[in-house]
Amino acid sequence: MLPLVLFFLLGLLILVLFEWRERHRKDGTDVSRPSIDSTCCGQHLVCEREKLLQPLDKPVYYDDEELDAYADIPADDLTEEQAAAISDVFHSLREEDVPGWVRSLEMRRIALPADVREEALLIVREQRNAVGAH
């Protein structure tokens, strides 16, 4: 149970970081503050988090439909072949697609093998540091 909770929290962190990065970057340039619309409550972080926690209509596929066969299999129960298939898709992604892919897997209830999860977290950290350096 604990690994599933940790997986969910990691995915949520990755999603929040990705969304934060996308909202603060337009056409490759940094935006000093988010735009405010008439429905904004003035608490941007609260609004953004609530928006992120709302389920999307459907997952985005990254040419990985075959991974749907691994839904509801805990990461520790994946076979070597299943883990390798997930790893192959992960290594075919552009780094900027990793957070969205992880969110898509969460929506599809597909667990990441530990090594892929660690690599994904590193990529997200690098992206966050790159955004923060600007």
Q: 52-100 pLDDT, tens per residue?
A: 444 557 899 999 999 999 999 999 999 999 999 999 999 999 998 998 8
Which residues fall within 8 angstroms of residue 35, CB to CB, at 6 or more apart? none
Q: For the chain, what's the residue count?
A: 134
pTM for this prediction: 0.56
Q: What is the pLDDT of residue 108?
A: 96
Q: Return the percentage of the chain with pLDDT > 90, whole number.
A: 40
Q: Is 29 helix (H, G, I), strand (E, B) or coil?
A: strand
Q: What is the pLDDT of residue 73?
A: 97
Question: Is 100 within 8 Å of 127 (Cβ atoms)?
Answer: no
In whole angstroms, give the CA distance from residue 109 to residue 132: 31
Q: At 26, phi and psi to the nearest 5? A: -130, 125
**Quick one: average pLDDT of 32-54?**
44
Question: Is 124 within 8 Å of 98 (Cβ atoms)?
Answer: yes
Q: Does position 46 have pLDDT exceeding 70, yes or no?
A: no
More confident residue, 129 or 69: 69
In whole angstroms, give the CA distance from residue 13 to residue 73: 21
